[in-house]
Amino acid sequence: MATFGTLSDRLTATFSALRTKGKLSPADVDGTVREIRKALLDADVALPVVKDFTAAVRERALGDEVNKALNPAQQVVQIVNDELIGILGGQQRRLQFAKNPPTVIMLAGLQGAGKTTLAGKLAQWLKADGHTPLLVACDLQRPNAVQQLQVVAEQAGVAVFAPEPGNGVGDPVRVAKDAVKHAATALHDVVIVDTAGRLGVDAELMKQAGDIRKAIDPDEVLFVIDAMIGQDAVATAKAFQEGVDFTGVVLSKLDGDARGGAALSVASVTGRPIMFASTGEGLGDFEPFYPDRMASRILDLGDILTLIEQAQKAFDEEDARKTAEKFATDSFTLEDFLVQMQQLKQMGSLKGMLGMLPGARGMREQLDNFDERELVRTEAIIQSMTLAERRMPKLLNGSRRLRIAKGSGTTVTEVNALVNRFEQAAKMMKTVAKGGVPQVPGMGPMPGMGGGGGAASLRKAQAKKKGKGASRSGNPAKRAAEEAARAQGVKPAGAGASGAGFGLGGGGAAGAQPTPEDLETIQRLLGR
């Protein structure tokens, strides 16, 4: 959701300044509203929408609901969230299907908005929902538009109706009428009509689109608009509403790096709901539009519901249960890991999924630097292994690893790193599957997951297990001093300290201090 990246950052920074205040004064509210207004205007949101939005936020923020709240900052965030949902359309609107099939859906919009590709995305989405869509080529003027629709239809695995060659040849109105008749006889329950666009709003475009609408009387007219065109979105939407009218809006290119004002303006200005969003170039990068979920993403509150829905589509419940059992019985292999990774790729962009987690804006730099191709390299390494090697990684000696590196186009170092990461992850997941607390190498129980103890207590426990009854420092110099003290019958300095998380604090005068190894491990886990 790169489109709202800057807006989200600005709003998040504005709200963070409120969290230190126990009570909000009118000056605090005015300053917050002023920053919100600047952020929305910078995002190319239409001025009338900004005025109404900030006025509503200010009125509610100065009301009793904030004054009586235990946490005023959170209450203001909730108010902004509610108002964002309002300008994005309020409730989600679903497609309305005809009582007597076929349901006719007409697409309209400017040239370059992505109508043809979106027709394929909508068709594939409907097909996955059990429908039998038919794509209709009524864009007979743009060069090779008919051929493009045919290619998209083949990729989506749906039928296409294209009796005319296009490139300026053919009557789009007649094609649309014939397509509806053909769909009724061929048992297609949905007809998606791809109409011609122009480089700008003009009378010829409106007349042709209006004639097609009159001829086929569609159940839905979806206005496809580029989410990156900014303030022009409002003028374009109004022109189409007056010339053709439409029942819903589809936002395309929502994954772009523009400021996204179109999404926050078009629903409020036209009174028509945003029904779908195109979030990438692939045919699967398409989803219903939920105003509440989009508002949560903008405010960096996450979108867990969409993440769960994507996971449910990609992962089979029975397969997930079997995988959990393999974790618990220590029988999880690289073969299983490959299957899991391929299912993960079916969910879409990993960067996009991570961006749906609450607080993801705090990981902006890491997300921007994340290379999606790393999954492809990992997949290539595993696929270069034999079936026996995948199931028994212990077989991977030096010569085998060299062969795998050459076969996957990687290095032996990358192969070694993958195997090491897999072994550590398998051990950790086995512990979690059995209800335990995962152990971080060199640090003991994972921070934040209970277990206490830390690095010092872990070394103490390991020493007792070996029958030595005393801890040994990870620092070579300190360890030598401890051993010398024990040889003289003197208790080493710091011995007997209970230790707390990360080896800091705890009982005793000074507690067990972290060793350089401990600090290095902590920094590595923190990504520093």
Residue stretches of the annotated binding site for GTP: 109-116, 194-198, 252-255
Angle at 220 between CA 137 and CA 176, to 5 degrees: 30
Contact by Cβ (8 Å): 128, 121: no
Residue type, 399: S
d(CA 508, CA 319): 50
Compute the radius of gyration of the chain from its Cα atoms. Answer: 30
Helix (H) or strand (E) holding 208: helix 203-216
Residue type, 346: Q
Residue type, 162: A
The residues that bridge with 278 in the sheet, in sequence order, are 286
d(CA 232, CA 177): 32
DSSP letter string, 304-372 = HHHHHHHHHHHS-HHHHHHHHHHHHTT---HHHHHHHHHHHHHT--HHHHHTTSTTGGGGHHHHHH--T
Residues 6+ positions from 456 with CB-CB distance below 8 Å: 471, 497, 499, 503, 506, 511, 512, 514
d(CA 50, CA 84): 11
Contact by Cβ (8 Å): 291, 274: yes
- The annotation places the binding site at 109-116, 194-198, 252-255
Sign of the alpha-carbon dihedral angle for 247, 252, 258, 260: positive
Cis amide bond preceding 476, omega within 30 = no
- The phi and psi torsions of 206 (rounded to 5 degrees) equal -65, -40
Cβ atoms within 10 Å of 147's Cβ, excluding its own:
14
d(CA 169, CA 163): 11
d(CA 179, CA 197): 19
Axis crossing angle, helix 5-16 with helix 26-42, rounded to the nearest 10: 170
SS3 assignment, position 21: coil
Contact by Cβ (8 Å): 267, 242: no
Residues 6+ positions from 38 with CB-CB distance below 8 Å: 10
Contact by Cβ (8 Å): 85, 291: yes
Contact by Cβ (8 Å): 269, 245: no
Q: Which two tokens stand for residue 316?
A: 């089979």
What is the pairing mode between strands 286-288 and 274-278? antiparallel
